[in-house]
Amino acid sequence: MNSQEEINDFVRDGYKQYLPHLTIDPVIFGYHDQQLKILLLKWIGYDGWGLPGGFIKRRESLSEAAHRILQDRTGLESVFLQQFQVFGDSPYRVKERSPGEVSGKYGFVVEDSWLFERTLSIGYFALVDYSKVTVTTDFFTNAHQWCDVNEVPALLFDQNEVVDKALITLRHQIYHQPIGYNLLPEKFTLPEIHKLYETILGKELDPRNFAKKLVVLGLIKKLDEQRAIGPHRSPYLYQFEKEAYEYALKHGIVHTY
């Protein structure tokens, strides 16, 4: 959707193809080199930063929609996207939108569009290695940034709340799910996973207790293998207990004790 004609069609008749009243707004966390960031796009129509969101097609499933939107907006494919909350309480999510707000900057002004109706947002999140991602923008967005989670600017609508809740959920789930699975080598040292957890949780963790607890909780296991990193330094290697997580998630029993 890139020509002016296609955009006009979308504004006027898009509700024939997409469900009104609902958007999907993914929060994409990016970890790399001890930094935790989120992906923001600059939305031309609002002249501000926001999440890479979009609408659900009338005949696609919710999960398909979430993945398509992310791919359309950012080029990201095959990411583990997790739904975490529907946002429908803030004033932005109860009232209708103003036409001027939406349409002015795209080169059209319409008095009435399905886009101005009340819209709830379904929040999803994912965690990726941002050094491996190439983001592409579309007609509605003209820039992107990976923004440090501690320096998020004022976002569109209630999206700062969406980001806050996504971060709380990520921090909660890091003790229960193999969220860090794709961010570390298959076999890693304790300092490596320790730094990953400190970065995601945004606080210091006692290294000895931290390791002990992850092993007791059944999240990681110590291997009978060491990595030689210097003449007198060869730390033991660890691995995620991925099967235990998957069992836990499926059966609702999170702790292995």
Site residues for a second copy per CB under 8 A: 19-22, 56, 58-63, 65, 83, 85-89, 93-95, 118, 120, 122, 167-172, 175-176, 201, 209, 213, 251-255, 257
Residue 11's φ and ψ, nearest 5 degrees, are -65, -40
Which of 216, 229 has the CB closer to a second copy?
A: 216
Residue 248's φ and ψ, nearest 5 degrees, are -60, -45
Which of 62, 229 has the CB closer to a second copy?
A: 62
| CA pair distance 92, 107, nearest whole angstrom | 24
How far apart are CB 41 and a second copy at their closest, in Å? 23
What does DSSP assign to residue 154? P
> Which amino acid makes up residue 132?
K
Which of 43, 84 has the CB closer to a second copy?
A: 84
Alpha-carbon distances, residue 257 vs 217, 252, 254 (angstroms): 7, 13, 9
| CA pair distance 20, 159, nearest whole angstrom | 19
Which of 132, 213 has the CB closer to a second copy?
A: 213
How far apart are CB 211 and a second copy at their closest, in Å? 12
> Which amino acid makes up residue 122?
I
How far apart are CB 74 and a second copy at their closest, in Å? 21
- Judged on CB neighbours under 10 Å (0-12, 13-18, 19+), 11 is buried
Which of 56, 115 has the CB closer to a second copy?
A: 56
- Judged on CB neighbours under 10 Å (0-12, 13-18, 19+), 142 is exposed
Which of 85, 137 has the CB closer to a second copy?
A: 85
**Beta-carbon contacts of residue 82 (< 8 Å; ≥ 6 apart):** 124, 125, 126, 169, 173
How far apart are CB 164 and a second copy at their closest, in Å? 9
How far apart are CB 239 and a second copy at their closest, in Å? 22
How far apart are CB 225 and a second copy at their closest, in Å? 28
